[in-house]
Amino acid sequence: MDDRVRYEIYDVTMREGVPPTSQRVGETLGISSSEVLDSFRRLADAHMIVLHDDGEILMAGPFSAVPTPFHVSLLPEGVGLSCYGNCVWDALGIPAMLHADAVIDTSCAHSSTPARLYITAGELTGDGFMHFLVPARLWWLHIVYT
């Protein structure tokens, strides 16, 4: 069942830009919300998703269920998907995952200076730089804060 739930999570998220609720997944798959929440917990324990305290999805990487400082607009702007990445790395992963061009609007974590990044034909352009304070091998220790 977890594979079916995971598939449904990403099917919805990749089309709509935000993960579905347990109720929606349950209705689509014909299972109870409690079964879905149990599956969400197992998927979270396997580092497939990250959950809110209420058991609903917070992150279905690279997508965030809540607004973040990493807004991604698939091109053409205004026509394509609009969503949020959990971090700049995830924001870059969304257009890669969807094989799409995109604009990523963010800002410098230190100065709050706006930054705009472009992904065009798989190439990254824009101003600024990215700094990963926490090594990737440690991200899951405090995934919400990395």
The CATH number assigned to the domain holding 52 equals 1.10.10.10
The answer to whether residues 77 and 139 belong to one domain is: yes
At 146, the pLDDT band (50, 70, 90 cuts) reads low
Q: Which residues 6+ apart lie within 8 Å of 104 measured at CB?
A: 70, 71, 72, 73, 85, 88, 91, 92, 116, 117, 118, 119, 126
The answer to whether residues 80 and 137 belong to one domain is: yes
At 133, the pLDDT band (50, 70, 90 cuts) reads confident
114: three-class secondary structure by DSSP:
strand
In this prediction the pTM is: 0.88
Least confident range of 19-33, 46-60, 100-114, 132-146:
132-146
Q: Which residue has the tokens 């990749």?
A: 14
Domain-located, residue 66: no
Cβ neighbourhood burial of 143 (10 Å; 0-12, 13-18, 19+): middle
The answer to whether residues 56 and 96 belong to one domain is: no
Q: Taking a C-beta distance cutoff of 8 angstroms, is the pair 29, 4 a contact?
A: yes
The answer to whether residues 84 and 32 belong to one domain is: no
The answer to whether residues 104 and 81 belong to one domain is: yes
Amino acid identity for residue 97 in this structure: M
Domain-located, residue 65: no
Structural domain boundaries, residue 91: 71-145
Task: Say how many domains are in the chain.
Answer: 2
